[in-house]
Amino acid sequence: MNPIKLIRKLGKALRGGSKFREIFLAVLLGFAVGMIPGVNLTLLLCIILLLLLNTNGGLAVLAFAIGKICCLALAAATFQIGYFLMHTVGLIGLVRALADTPVLALLDLHVYSLLGALPIIVLVGGGMAWAVGALIAKAQAGIVSAGEQSEKFRKVAENKFVRFLLWLAFGRRKGTLAEVMAQPSPLFARNRLIAGAVVVVIILIFQVLFVDVLARKGIQSAISLASGAEVNVADVDLSLLAGRLVVEGLEVTDPARPTHNQVQADRIVTDLSVGDLLARRFVVDMLESDSMRMDVERRTPGKVYREPEEEEAPPPPVDLGKLGQYKAYLDHAKRLHEKVQKLREYLKSNEPDTEAEQPDKERLAEEARRRGYLRLSAKDYLARHPTWVIRDLVIRNVKVTDELPGLTIEGKNLSSHPSLLPEKAELKAKVDEDALESLKKGLLEKVLGGKEKPSLKGLFGK
């Protein structure tokens, strides 16, 4: 909205184009749109109401700016209010039901700062809307009264130059202020209905056109949060109708060695449950990848967001001559399996306690400071179902080193809340039997293929 149009809309409110109800709704809904953190169904509903109802656009823009400033400045306060409402007042049952219901889960009322913003919207936004509406209504009444009682005022108002200045500043007005005030004001504006429908269509088109970009950002953010380091994704192809997600060029920085990737996958294919996505649950029926490498040098060092825990250094390699390649393959398989089991135990140990009456406030506050107050959600603690589930996982050709054949990682029923999933979780790394047999065969051919009788020195080297 350009400045001239904004001034005209504000002037329209004063000169009689907007009545108390229109002013009240404009300020309240504009302030609400600014106060709501993130992009969610709650924000979308407020925007639609602002577009459909007969409101003053200029006042709504000003109220939005004030609301957004308050949203950022009061982030810590809205987090505390949200925690109080949810865990002390006792709204946890209602929030849990909404967070577990498809479509309604998209309201994001399980986000502490959003829930805490609602009382501020009602009290501060409502009070400000009433005050502005009453002030403008009083000013309008004063102008009408002065115009009726003062002949001089009427002559000035009828002056052509004055009328031109008023038109330039505030736009055209049909009739006198008293006549405009007497006209009925509908709750819904017809032209706004069309505008609202157009905006909804644009939002849907935007979601369709940019859903891959949004999915890529979401994947990078989620994995970065879990790993504590930079994550890069080259491309994402998400088909909601087919329930299929394809991730290409995944690179996860190793926090202990930012110059290398902890994991690097060329292509990952997943089959998703669309119904669960509407409840903000990520349920994967099958996750497959045919090529994954570990400890790969990055083009540029990645960012580290959280210092990693110290791990025991692997034992130094033992030179076993021609048998060394065979043993190294088994050693790598064993080490990868141990890492996978540590990951499984990590997932289990970091499961939110859904049976607790309320999560630890101090720990949540520390997490909120690290992640941002406006993002922290209580959904993990309210869940009746896991936030994410991977039913079947198969990652083939996991390359620990380029000199050896790839390994395989298999998993079943992995989730954010193992206690909420009846099926037992499984996760393991194993050698490729065909590759192992090929390695054995190649070794025997090298050792026994010649005419000379194999010796211990020939088998084990120096």
In terms of domains, do 180 and 292 share one?
no
And the tokens for 216? 């890529």
In terms of domains, do 235 and 379 share one?
yes
Q: How many CB atoms are located within 10 Å of the residue 398 CB?
A: 22
pLDDT value of residue 358: 66
Asked if 33 and 61 touch (Cβ cutoff 8 Å), the reply is no
pLDDT for residue 462 is more than 90: no
In terms of domains, do 12 and 159 share one?
yes
pLDDT value of residue 169: 41
Q: How many CA atoms lie within 13 A of 381 on its CB side?
A: 20
For 186-323, where are the alpha helices, taking DSSP H only?
190-227, 274-277
Of 32-41, 237-246, 310-319, 418-427, which range is least confident?
310-319
Q: Which residue has the higher pLDDT, 300 or 177?
A: 300
Asked if 153 and 133 touch (Cβ cutoff 8 Å), the reply is no
In terms of domains, do 165 and 299 share one?
no
- Whether pTM > 0.85 for this model: the answer is no
Task: Give me the residue label for tokens 């087919």.
Answer: 242
Of 179-188, 295-304, 369-378, 432-441, which range is least confident?
179-188
What's the domain range around 412? 216-448
- pLDDT category of residue 363 using cuts at 50, 70 and 90: confident
In terms of domains, do 182 and 221 share one?
no
Domain assignment of residue 383, yes or no: yes
pLDDT value of residue 341: 77
- pLDDT category of residue 149 using cuts at 50, 70 and 90: low
Of 115-129, 243-257, 323-337, 421-435, which range is least confident?
323-337
- pLDDT category of residue 453 using cuts at 50, 70 and 90: very low
| SS3 category, 159 | coil
Domain assignment of residue 20, yes or no: yes
Highest average pLDDT, of 107-116, 194-203, 268-277, 434-443, comes from 107-116
**How many structural domains are present in the chain?**
2
Tens of pLDDT, residue by residue over 201-224, are: 776 676 667 777 877 887 887 778
| SS3 category, 390 | strand
In terms of domains, do 146 and 221 share one?
no
pLDDT (average), residues 404-416: 83
Q: Which of 188, 208, 231 is the last residue of a domain?
A: 188
In terms of domains, do 56 and 143 share one?
yes
- pLDDT category of residue 245 using cuts at 50, 70 and 90: confident
pLDDT for residue 177 is more than 80: no
Task: Give me the residue label for tokens 């577009």.
Answer: 51
pLDDT (average), residues 308-331: 56
Q: Which of 188, 205, 240 is the last residue of a domain?
A: 188
Q: Mean pLDDT across the chain, nearest whole number?
A: 75
DSSP string, 62-92: HHHHHHHHHHHHTHHHHHHHHHIIIIIISTH
- pLDDT category of residue 355 using cuts at 50, 70 and 90: low
- pLDDT category of residue 282 using cuts at 50, 70 and 90: confident
Domain assignment of residue 341, yes or no: yes
Q: How many CB atoms are located within 10 Å of the residue 14 CB?
A: 16
In terms of domains, do 244 and 127 share one?
no
Domain assignment of residue 460, yes or no: no
Q: Which residue has the higher pLDDT, 65 or 171?
A: 65
